[in-house]
Structure formats: C-alpha cells, structure tokens
Amino acid sequence: MFGRSRGWVGGQGKTKNIHSLDHLKHVYNVLTKNTTVTDHNRNLLVETIRSITEILIWGDQNDSSVFDFFLEKNMFAFFLNILRQKSGRYVCVQLLQTLNILFENISHETSLYYLLSNNHVNSIIVHKFDFSDEEIMAYYISFLKTLSLKLNNHTVHFFYNEHTNDFALYTEAIKFFNHPESMVRIAVRTITLNVYKVDNQHMLHYIRDKTAVPYFSNLVWFIGSHVIELDKCVQTDEEHKNRGKLSDLVAEHLDHLHYLNDILIINCEFLNDVLTDHLLNRLFLPLYVYSLVTPETSEDRKINPQVSLYLLSQVFLIIHYRPLVSALADVILNGDLSVFTPQTDLHKITASAGGVRRFTKPPESLERSLELSRHRGRKRTQKRPNYKNLGEDEDEDRAGGGAGSGGGGGVQEGWDDDGRGGEREGGREREKGKGTEGGGGGGSSKASKASGETAEEIEMVVMEKCKVPELTEQNITDEEKTAAATRTHAQRSRPFLDMVYSALDCSNDDYHALFVLCLLYAVSHSQGINRDLLERLQLPVPEQERSSYSLVLVERLIRVMSQAAQPDGRVRLATLELSCLLLKQSVLSGNQCIIKDVHLACLEGAREESLHLLRRFYKGEEIFLDMFEDEYRSMTSKPLNVEYLMMDASVLLPPTGTPLTGIDFVKRLPCGDVEKTRRAIRVFFMLRALSLQLQGEPETQLPLTRPEDLIKTDDVLDLNNSDLIACMVVSKDGGQAQRFLAVDVYQMSLVEPESKRLGWGVVKFAGLLQDMQVSGVEDDSRALNIVIHKPSSNPHAKPLPILQANFIFADHIRCIIAKQRLAKGRIQARRMKMQRIAALLDLPVQPGASEVLGFGQTANASPSGLPFRFYEQSRRAPNDPTANRSVFASVDKVPGFAVAHCVSQHSPSPLSSPSPPSSGSGSTGRCDSVTASTISAQSPTDDGTFLEHAPPSSSGVDGDGGGGGAALAPSAPSTPVLAPSLTPASQPTISLLTDNHTDALSVESLTLLPPADPPHMHPCASYVPATHCLQRPDASITEEDEKAERGDEEPQEEDSLTMDETETDATVKEENTTMELITPTEEGPEMAEGNEQEGDGDAAAGADEQGGDSLTAGESAEAEDAEQHPGETLDSPELD
C-alpha cells in the first residue's frame, strides 16, 4: 500500500546516493516546504518521512553526522507538527511505522539518546491517535512495545520524569490492558513486563504509588470477569457444545496466570506486595476459594466448586511466588469462613478482615483512575508519595499527615464508589494486619492513625493475616502430629479442606475428585508453599522423609482406587493415576514405605478387585493380547502430566463416555466393550504397579516382552541342533541377502553363520512373531512374503513395518515348512503370552501351553536338546553383554513358564505367588479336558502343597461368575462377598481398632474396609470363629474342611471344564492331543520345584499373604478352596 508513493523523493534523478547526508538535507528541504498536510502533498510527505528513516538508520550504521543534522534541525518537531494536523490515517500509519523502524534498527546508544532527547517521543506517545482504527492501534502499540524493549536504567529517564511524575509510555500502554484485540493486550503485557524489569527505584516507586493499585485492581477484575464467563460457559453447557469457547477461556485464564507469574518472578518486591494483595483478597479468596463452600443459591457472583477447584489447581501449578501461594494454601488447607466475615476479633488476625475480601468491580475505569492519580500527584508533589498514602483529599484530612495504614484504606476509597467506601476502607488488607491493636476495623481515622504510627511504610502484612496462632508446635513427634492433625481437624472448622476432601468421593462420578487430586498434587509440588504447613496437615510432600501420613487422605485415595476397580466404577483413568501418584507420595518416605498394614490391606483389596474386573473381560482372543500389551506401552510411555491435564478444558465439563467428543481416553469413561476392556487392563496395571512398589517388590512379569530378554541384531547364538532354513531375503527396496531363518519362542530371526565358531550364528534381524504376517507369493511357490510391524504405542499412528521382504527358499517343500513353522510360531507365541496373562490373572492356562513350536519337546530333559531360547544365557555367546542381565538363570525351564516360575521364587505376592497354574498341580487336570477326570484322584495327594500356593482369589467367585452369589452361598455363609468398599459396616475394623490404635482406620472411614485378613495383620481371635477360618495360620486345620468341600465342588468343576474346553480354539485342541501325554513329565520337575519352594518358605506367611490379598472379611476357607480351580468354575461364561 505504500507502493503508490514510490519515487516521489530522491527518485529517479538522484538515485546515486540515497543514503547520504546530502540527501537528508534535500529531504529536509522538502519537509520545510510542506509543513501543512494537504491532499496533494500527502504522498510526498509519507515518502519523505520514510526516506528519513532509511537515511537515519544508514547513518547510525555508517555516518554519525546524519544524526547531528537531524538533531540540529529538530526534525522530530516536524513529525509532531504533521501528526497534530488532521493528517489522516495514511500519514499516521507511515509515521508510526517509521518510528518503529527507527527505534528497532538503531544500534548505537548515542543515536538512541539523540532520538529520545527533547521529549518528542513522549509527545508522540500521548498523542491521541484514532485508536478505533485497528491498523493505527496495531502500529501504535507496536511502537510502544519497541520503545519498551529499549528500556534500561539509562534510557528510562527519557520516559519517566521524576519531577512531573510522568511515565507516558507505561501509563498510556496500560490503558489498553483489556483491549478486545488479543495482540494488543499481549503487547501491553510485554510493555509492562519490560518496565518492571528495569531496576530503577524511583520509577518503580512511581509505578507502585501511582499506578499499581488502579492497574492491578482493574486487571484482577478483568481476570475475574473471564472466570465468571468461563463458569457460565460450563454451567450452560449442553452436550459439550461449549467446548471450543471453553477452551479459549481456559487458555485465556492460563495466559493471565502466566502473566501474573511473569510479573511475580521479576521479583520487584513492593510491586509484588500490591499485586499479591489484590490477587489474594480481591480474586483468589473471594471468588475462587469462597466458591468452594458457598451453597448453590447463596450469592449471585460465585462460580461452581469444580470450576474453582480446577482454576485453583492451575494457580498452584503456575504460580510459585511464596507469599502468595503460601497464604492461599493456608486459607484453603487451614482457614475457615471467618476469613470472609467482617468481625473484630483481636485474637484472630485472620478474622479481622472487615469484609474486604470481595470480588468487586473497580468503580472507575483504569484510565480515569490514572488521570485522577496524576492530578493528585501534581497537587502534592512535595509529599513523598508511597502507595499507602497515595492520596485522597479526604484521606489526608482524616488521617492527617499519617502516612500509615489509614492511607491504605484511602487508596481504596479513592477509586471505590462512595457508597461502600467506608466498609472497604475498613478492610484494606494491610491495614487490617497492622491495625490489629487498633481494633482491626480501621474504619475510624483514629484507628488508622494509631496503627499508622507503628506501621512501617512499605512493609506488607498480607502474609501474616492467615497465620493461625494454634498449631505452631514444633518438634513434636509424629504420633503427636497425627493426633494433633486429627484433633485439630475435629476441633477446628476447616470448611475448605473439608470440602476438598469430601469432593474426593467418587461414588457418583469423579468430576470433582479429579480436580481435588490435581489441586492436592499442585499444592504438594509447589515450591512456594511452606513445607511446615503441608507437614502439619500431613499432606504428601514429595521426596521427604517422614513417618506418618494423613489417614483421611490416604483412605480416600484408596477408596477412589477401589471404586475404580468396580465394574460400574465411574472413575476415569486420569483420576486413578493421580490417586496412585498421590498415594505413593503420601506413604513412600525415601526408600521406605510407611503405609499401615490396614491401608495396605485395603489397597490390596482394591488391587484384587481390579484383577477380578479384568478377568471379566479376559478373552482368549488375539485382540486381547494386543490390547494388553498396547495398554502397557501407552501407560508407561505416556505418564500423566498434571500440568497438561489442567490445561485441557474438556475435563471441566461433566465426565462423558463417548469418544465422539474427541476427548482423550484417559480423561473420559469407557465406551463399549473394547474400551471397557482397555480400561480394566489399565486399572489392573496401575494398581498392580502401585501395590508392588509399596511392598518393595520388583515387577517381574510385565511387560510381557521385555526388550532385554529378546534376541537383538548382532547377538551371537549357538544354533547347534536348531532348525534352520536357508533362504534368500529380498527386501522391499530390492536388497538381497542370504540368510538362515530360525524360529524361536517369541521371535523369528535371520542369521548368518558366525565365522569363528562352527554352528553359531550372528543375528542380522529379529522380529516378534506375534506381529508378523506371512503370506504366499502368487507366482512363486518357493517364496513367502513376510511383514513384521512395529508395535506402536500410538494407536493412531500408521503401523510401521520393520521388515517387509520376500523370503525365497530352495524349494517349495522348504517353503511350506518355513511357512508352517512361522505360522505356528506366531500362534504359539501369542498363546504363550496369553497364558502368561492368564497366570497374571490367576486364571487356568489353556491347553497346549507346553507345546512349543512343535519342536521336539521330549528332548527337554537334556539342555542340549533344547531349541535356543532367549532366556538361556548359557546359549548366548560369552561376549554377549545381555547375557548376564538375564534373571532367568537356570536352563532347564520350560519355555514360557520360566518367567512365571521365576517370579514365584522372588515374589510371594499373591498374583505371582503360585507358580502359574499350568506348572502347578493344576496342570494335571485343570485345563485339559482329557485329564480333567484325574482331578479328584489327584487332589488328595496334592492337597498339602497345593493349598499353599494355589491362587486363593475367592472374591473372584462373584466377580467372575457375573454376580455369582450362588457359587458363594455354601462357602461364605456369614457375609456376602462384596467389594471391600461395599462391605457393610459390621466388619472387623472395630476389632482392628482395639487391636492397635495407630494402625486403625480413622473413624470416618468406616465404610472403607480392609479385606478381612490383611498381610501381617494380627490374628483376631474374636471374629475368626464367626467367619470360619479366614487366614490359615496353620493349614492343617483347614485342610479337612477343604477336602470336604472339595468333594462338593468337583462335579461343578468338571461340568464347566467340559464347557470350557469346547469353547476353546479348535486348532489348539488338535495340537494338544499329542502334547497332553508329554505334559506331566515335562512339568513334573518344575512343579515339584515350585511346590517345594513354596513349601519351604514360610508357609504360614505365604498363606497369610495370599489370603490377605484376596479374601474379604466374610469369606471362609471353603471359599478359598473353591478358588483353587477358579478357571473351571468361573471362566466358562467369559469364554463364551
């Protein structure tokens, strides 16, 4: 658009040297001849101004005489002169752009000083442009921004005039702080931040005294208005239609918070004091915090508690300024409603707030406030102003010369409307703090004076207001602390904290709970919050040594987990993950876990629930395996980021289940069977991981495929006696290589002979069989097309093939063999993993487990006869660095079971405690239809050891049986088996309470019940008889019962067994026929070993633990017995 005016000046005639002093002189002449802007010379003037810029910049870089001339002729005055005429938009824009370019490109400080001298720039800044024109507005604000970027301790004097108390750059800029155009607002913020950054005390005093209160109060009001709009948006939402707008408003709020934080971290102390005061008392407390407790109808201006929790979480996640967040946290965690009531209580500083904490609109626009304050400033320039006596006339009258806290009220009054001035004045925060002795109200001038005398000028007491006199004890023991925490909790009213805790209830939904968890997380991670405060309330402080934790919180967290594990649980995965995080934070102190046994028991109960939940979804389908592994990957690869979570506006709307909203899976409820399955898998993983970590046990079974166990490229393997098929591998891009194909348990690999050792091979490629697709090649009977996809944690990403090649074999027979081997290997690899999942879930293993790849398994006995396997370090080359890492030390394990078996040695945790059913005694009869009849024959002999390690997941009976109360009826006469959280209150918790007080659940958690026999729990003789025998301190007693029961159970089992069998994969069956004969011999040693280990170990403890995990209070030993064949009894419905 400037193009039209080209060539007016200098133009064609003088092209030689546009950049020269001479040319500037020429241009100057043009200026002098055109002092009046007309339609005719407009273009000429614009071009003149433009070329002056160009010459000046050239001069700055090349010839300083240019600047001398510019100054000498006072050419800026011409600019002003042009501006002041009604010169129109075109000229204005050009001028502003010229100035922008000028200030942006000047590199020499002296040049800059030249330009800034004479105050011309300030005259331009205060010039009333036509700001309704968006282009002028944009150029103008950019001009101010460019100037602000040039601010430093020296240049600030050109803008800030100490004598006249003028700082046009700043005051003009902040007038646009709420401009509708976002880019303008951003520029204003940049300017303010650039100003605050300059370390000039006089200037900063001016900012604080003359502008801070008006600006911050308006800013706070502006933010609050956005918050209310946001809340309205949430309230009026229907069917998630407001999501777009909501996410803008949330982003806006985040912008505000980041801006506030940017100001606060500049750390200009006295500015921060004013800002903190305003934020706390005019926004955060009255609007956010107060909304937590106000009943729905009470006040017109309030926001929903969930919105307020959400916003408070953001506050704590973003702002870390200690005085602010400490005070805010203190009110939330420790304060009561007196914070908001105007009362005069000499003892409670907190209470003397005099009704100030209001979210009210500033009575005047910022512009007007600034104007007023300017006039006042002029009037009283003599008086050293500070923001407290920043003055009103009446204020001065009343408070006299007292530059004390009375002035604080005055500030308020000055721009508050008259109607409520008195009330507000009384409540000025700093006044209140200081005026405690004076009666706190501060409403009278006397009080103001009195306190004013003692008050120091600048010191802010905002922070003190929330200090609670009680609870200052130091050096108290943890018991005392715990006691104190409960005591004070009972005595002292903490409505906010109460609200926060009670919002953790997820029985209907976890709408509020998620925000509460975020808030607690944010508070506990905030660097600005007093550790003492958190410790006093025993809130989780990450990475801190401690020996006690908040019982209330932990119990509620566990309840969330337990609710998450319910079939109809309305707990989202994000909520669960956060609960786990917070729980870990609460009870892990350094490397130690200080969780009480009761709580651990409750947690184990929840974990067990999740196990049962997952069993309901366990299917023998291929897709289950893929989902299982995929969920594990996405869980571990994408841990929850709370900050991101709290940036997402979608969680602000009530939790929904449909993926059509585009809401991330973890942030909504599952939709449909597949998602329900995924959710159950996740819940299981999370609770399992939590349980293991709290008990200090390593995870040995997950992921199902650990990268370190796999054969990798360049591994050297002993392939003697392995089946190898030579082939030519033709990759998709045309590369060819001669390789030997070898198929292992989980992987296929392509090897080439190792040159040094005969019979050994170097792996050139290894890929998972389970992710492989094999297909024939149409016109070549000797060739196979093989594609192996990379398992990806991102379900949306296109599957990436890691191998895509044709394998060409010597003849079609070998081709068929290879194809069969690969196809079978794939099935077997998958099946084996499914079996490991089943083992994880304490489910019976499907038949065919031991048939690996159709290799001659009979050769198992001698290691030399084994196919090479990844976990056999003895088969790895000695130079293989991965070999030593393997935890599977022994060679003679059955493939696929080695892992599980190994676990049974290391971790007595209930999940892994039985050597997987397949390798235990169950292998003889549990799964194979053919041998099913042997159960009865076998069980007597087995019983002794069998019982010790059989999966005792009795509560699974009802879970799996689909509300199988029937199955339980005989076994659990005293109490119906319910989820721990659902069990009625007539539970042994009472006896626990008497048993050991500190170990007990707090009273309010009566509904949260531990399973009857938590590990390490002291036997409670009082209720054991009533519930038959819960734990089995001595197996011998129960054994008889069990045997007796067994007889009853057996027929059922067989029935379901046969059903079970018929449902399973037909192909499996076929293969099994050969294997079944082998099975016993194969597994015999293994089984024995497993049993032995279990038996050798502390049998009672083992039983204890298993029982503790799975049994709820009312269950009897018979129930356990039933569980020993959980699969048979329970799973047939699932497999349908």
Q: Which parts of this chain interact with other proteins (CB under 8 A)?
A: 1-6, 19, 47, 50, 54, 57-58, 61-62, 97, 100-101, 104-105, 135, 138-139, 142, 145-146, 149, 182-183, 185-186, 189-190, 193, 244-245, 248, 251-252, 254-255, 258-259, 261-262
Q: How far apart are CA 136 and CA 176, in angstroms?
A: 13
Q: How far is the CB of 193 from other proteins (least distance, A)?
A: 5
Distance CA 309, CA 743 (A): 56
- In the bound state with other proteins, the residue whose beta carbon lies nearer, of 22 and 532, is 22
Task: Write down the least CB distance from residue 1101 to other proteins, Å.
Answer: 51
737: which DSSP letter?
E
Burial level of 695, CB count in 10 A (0-12/13-18/19+)? middle
H/E stretch holding 784 reads strand 780-790
- The least CB distance from residue 190 to other proteins, in Å, is 5
**Least distance to other proteins from the beta carbon of 1004, Å?**
42
DSSP output for 469-521: SS----S--HHHHHHHHHHHHHHS--HHHHHHHHTT--SS-SHHHHHHHHHHH
Least gap, CB of 567 to other proteins (angstroms) = 36
Cβ distance to other proteins smaller for residue 233 or 331? 233
105 or 386: CB nearest other proteins: 105
Tell the smallest beta-carbon distance from residue 663 to other proteins (Å): 14
**Residue number, 279 or 957, with CB nearest to other proteins:** 279
CB of 256 to other proteins, least distance (A): 8
CB of 163 to other proteins, least distance (A): 30
Residue 86 C-beta: closest distance to other proteins, Å: 18
Decide if 571 contacts 978 (C-beta within 8 A): no
CA distances from 792 to 675, 678, 679, 740, 837 (A): 18, 16, 18, 28, 20
**Taking a C-beta distance cutoff of 8 angstroms, is the pair 691, 603 a contact?**
yes
Q: Would you mind telling me the total number of residues written for the chain in this entry? A: 1136
CB of 198 to other proteins, least distance (A): 14
Closest to other proteins by CB, 192 vs 975, is 192
- Give alpha helix (H) positions in 508-641: 511-525, 531-536, 551-564, 573-587, 597-617, 622-637
**Cβ contacts of 68 within 8 Å, gap of 6 or more:** none
Name the residue nearer to other proteins (CB basis): 141 or 234: 141
Instruction: Residue 808: name the closest of 794, 819, 799 by CA.
Output: 819
Give the span between the Cα atoms of 1005 and 1008, in whole angstroms: 5
Give the residue with the Cβ less far from other proteins, 146 or 373. Answer: 146
Nearest residue to 1016 via CA among 885, 1118, 1108? 1108
Residue whose CB is less far from other proteins, 124 or 841: 124
Which one, of 448, 375, 13, lies nearest residue 171 by Cα?
Answer: 375
CB-nearer residue toward other proteins: 317 or 1017: 317
Q: 49 or 1103, CB closer to other proteins?
A: 49
Are the C-beta atoms of 323 and 272 separated by less than 8 Å? yes
Q: Quote the least distance from Cβ 106 to other proteins, whole Å.
A: 11
Residues 6+ apart with CB under 8 A from 380: 391
Name residues whose C-beta falls within 8 Å of residue 391's C-beta, 6 or more positions apart in sequence: 376, 380, 383, 385, 407, 410, 414
Residue 99 or residue 763: which is nearer to other proteins going by CB?
A: 99
Structure tokens at 375: 């006039």
Asked if the bond preceding 703 is cis, omega within 30° of 0, the reply is: yes
Question: Closest distance between other proteins and the C-beta of residue 35, in Å?
Answer: 23
**Cβ closest to other proteins, residue 190 vs residue 909:** 190
- Residue pair 729/634 in contact (Cβ under 8 Å)? The answer is no
Kindly write down the DSSP assignment for every residue of 816-841, as one continuous string.
Answer: HHHHHHHHHHHHHHHHHHHHHHHHHT
**135 vs 699 by CB, closer to other proteins:** 135
Backbone angles phi, psi at 749, to 5 degrees: -135, 155
- To the nearest whole angstrom, how small is the minimum distance from the Cβ of residue 711 to other proteins? 30
Task: Say if strands 800-809 and 724-731 run parallel, antiparallel, or are unpaired.
Answer: antiparallel
Record the tokens describing residue 580, joined without a space.
């786990």
Tell me how far, at minimum, the Cβ of 94 lies from other proteins, in Å. Answer: 9
| CB neighbourhood size of 468 (10 A) | 18
Tokens representing 292? Answer: 């937590």
Burial (CB < 10 A; 0-12, 13-18, 19+), residue 1036, is exposed
Q: Which is nearer to other proteins, 50 or 449 (CB)?
A: 50
By the 8 A CB rule, do 424 and 416 touch? yes
978 Cβ partners below 8 Å, 6+ apart? 958, 984, 1112
Q: How far is the CB of 107 from other proteins (least distance, A)?
A: 10
Q: In the complex with other proteins, which residue's Cβ is closer, 189 or 512? A: 189
Instruction: Enumerate the H helices of 618-740 as residue ranges.
Output: 622-637, 642-645, 672-694
Query: Least distance (Å) from other proteins to the CB of residue 935?
Result: 59
Q: Which is nearer to other proteins, 87 or 954 (CB)?
A: 87
